[in-house]
């Protein structure tokens, strides 16, 4: 899953506000091996401010519509707002990547159900402004599993098919650096949810803290986390650096299949 930010304030500094530039970047990521393009119109970096749904729609819809016209691969929208999800699905997206998947909005799930879309439930506590004050867990993995389980059950109660649900432990969202590392080490434990696990470590601050590196120098650290995550059961990897991460995943898959 390739990350395409159409925001001016992405933590990784890769936001594309011009539609033509965003679509060109998406096409390059497809050539580099992306299987899904994930389009986001609101930054979720720590401390980020919420923007109006109307503004988010204006950012993502033209980009999604253009990508869908030019490629046959699935497009997802990274949002938690029902209005944005509906507009994106109308424009041709087929996945809603819900950054606030615990708890998850009933209205949002109703939109997903109506379109027959897939949904990624990402674990998060609070909002981007408050999440880093909510890192107290009894057992970080078990608590996340329990909270994701409730959201999976809510999806099923809404009428979303089981095979349309994915889960994401939410690295960096209401977690300390040490907790992120523990989640990766114990990723196999998320199998109890019975759904594919998506992992998004790309360029995140826990890598920077571990290696004492700024965001633009975290590719090798990201690659190491991706390799460990796939070895431990991750089935989808969300990344900025598509060509390099694709090589990592292909190599680990070859090892696992040997």
The residues carrying an active-site annotation are: 204, 238
Q: Are 169 and 201 in contact (CB under 8 A)?
A: no
Q: What is the DSSP letter of 61?
A: H
Contact 105, 84 (CB under 8 A): no
Structure tokens at 78: 């990274």
Give dist(CA 224, CA 162) in Å, integer.
31
User: Which pair of structure tokens corresponds to residue 47?
Assistant: 């401390």
Say how far apart CA 130 and CA 147 lie, in whole Å.
18
- Adjacency order of strands within the sheet including 118-122: 2-5, 37-40, 75-78, 95-98, 118-122, 165-168
Residue 106 burial (CB < 10 Å; 0-12/13-18/19+)?
exposed
Neighbours of 253 (CB within 10 A): 11
Q: Give the closest residue to 76 by CA, choosing from 89, 90, 62.
A: 89
DSSP state at residue 191: G
In order of 76, 132, 159, 246, 254, the CA distances from 35 in angstroms are 11, 31, 26, 10, 18
């Amino acid at each position: 899953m390739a990350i395409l930010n159409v925001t001016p304030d992405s933590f990784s500094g890769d936001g594309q506000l011009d539609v033509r530039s965003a679509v060109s970047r998406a096409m390059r990521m497809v050539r580099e091996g992306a299987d899904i393009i994930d389009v986001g119109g609101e930054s979720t970096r720590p401390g980020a401010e919420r923007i109006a749904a109307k503004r988010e729609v204006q950012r993502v819809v033209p980009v999604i519509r253009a990508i869908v016209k030019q490629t046959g691969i699935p497009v997802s929208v990274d949002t938690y707002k029902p209005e944005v999800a509906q507009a994106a699905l109308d424009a041709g997206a087929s996945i809603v990547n819900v950054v606030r998947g615990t708890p998850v909005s009933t209205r949002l799930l109703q939109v997903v159900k109506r379109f027959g879309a897939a949904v990624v439930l990402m674990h998060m506590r609070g909002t981007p402004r408050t999440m880093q004050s909510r890192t107290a867990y009894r057992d970080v993995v078990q608590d996340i599993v329990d909270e994701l389980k409730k959201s999976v059950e809510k999806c099923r109660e809404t009428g979303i098919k089981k095979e349309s649900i994915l889960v994401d432990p939410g690295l960096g969202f209401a977690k300390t650096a040490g907790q992120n590392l523990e989640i990766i080490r114990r990723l196999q434990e998320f199998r109890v949810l019975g759904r594919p696990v998506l992992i998004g470590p790309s360029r995140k601050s826990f890598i920077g803290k571990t290696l004492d590196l700024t965001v633009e120098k975290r590719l090798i650290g990201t690659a190491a986390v991706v390799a460990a995550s796939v070895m431990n059961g991750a089935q989808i990897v969300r990344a900025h650096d598509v060509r390099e991460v694709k090589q990592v995943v292909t190599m680990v898959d070859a090892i696992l299949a040997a």
